[in-house]
Amino acid sequence: MAHEEGRQEMNPVWNIALKELYVSVKSRRFIVIVALYFIIFGLAVYAIKDYLVQMGVPSVDSNELSLWGVSAEIYTTPLAMLFTVNMMIITVLGAVLGAALGADAINREVENGTIRVLLGHPVYRDEVINGKFLGMGSLITATYLVSYVVMVAVMLLLGIPLDGESLLRGFLAILITVLYTLVFLSLGILLSTLSKKPETSMLAGVGLAIFLTVFYGIVVSIVAPKLTGPEPPLGTSAYQIWAEDLHVWMNRLHSINPAHHYVQLVSYIFAGDEFFNYYLPLGDSFTYGFNSLAALLVMLLLPFALAYARFLTSDLN
């Protein structure tokens, strides 16, 4: 009897979150995307393992990631290098994972009629959407924590020494990776409330994730020069002004892309100081990355707020 009362008093949000976690971890899309991630990451580690093992004293090196509009000075320890490789994979696959998990979270329940069964219990709509987000967010967090443990294990297996500073910064980068993927989960849930067809929202979500992480940087490199105007002769003062305008336009266009802010933040976490040949202090990294962190939080909360409002007011029949 006491057990029954305890079960009844359990928060419905947690009940829905646990159910969503259980269903999502068994879904084919999750298994395929995570398997693909580990295969690509394994191949990348195999390709650079000799360089990692033979790496000498860490140094501050320039890192150009023009596809996402980021250039940074990275203190290149073995873990920083391995995480940079991991970041390039996650930037694409993490976005696809988040969008794919959320893209049919609501409309699939409506199409199958299970939403009416669910709401027939003493459960409110806000508890449903919050529970779904919490469940899938927990799965994403657990997946990345496992990937970080695997990354550290790979380094230990290769006999590469680890330092506490790199481990801490790697953990912070994993938290940013979780935030980045939640942005696309939020976008996916929004699409699932806007479209009645799960197939349509899934296609739109995955397509948007791939466009923003693979093709958007190419579009920016084509559009920004057109917005800046004709290129003056090289070496003139007009050329310098034109180049500055081009840089401003490229930054403006990249700033609406979550991938840009994710790569920027991870680069700041592993940023180096050339004078001291060591990491930039974390306080300075936070100051430089504050705008990108704020942008990712807005990109997470805004679509979810819109999805929340849409789900609470929509006709589910």
Encode pLDDT of 203-216 as tens digits: 999 999 999 999 99
- Look at residue 7 and tell me whether its pLDDT is greater than 60: no
- 233-287 pLDDT, tens digit per residue, is 888 889 999 999 999 999 999 999 999 999 999 999 999 998 999 999 999 999 9
Question: Which position has the token pair 């799960």?
Answer: 198
- Look at residue 39 and tell me whether its pLDDT is greater than 90: yes
The b/e string for 67-90 (b: 16+ C-beta within 10 A; e otherwise) is bbbbebbbbbbbbbbbbbbbbbbb
- 40-93 pLDDT, tens digit per residue, is 999 999 998 888 888 878 889 998 898 999 998 999 998 999 999 999 999 999
- 152-164 pLDDT, tens digit per residue, is 998 899 888 888 9
- Look at residue 2 and tell me whether its pLDDT is greater than 50: no
Q: CA 113 to CA 305: how far, in whole Å? A: 24
Task: Please give the mean pLDDT across all residues of the chain.
Answer: 91
The first and second tokens of residue 29, run together, are 């899309």
Question: Which position has the token pair 């805004």?
Answer: 302
pTM: 0.92
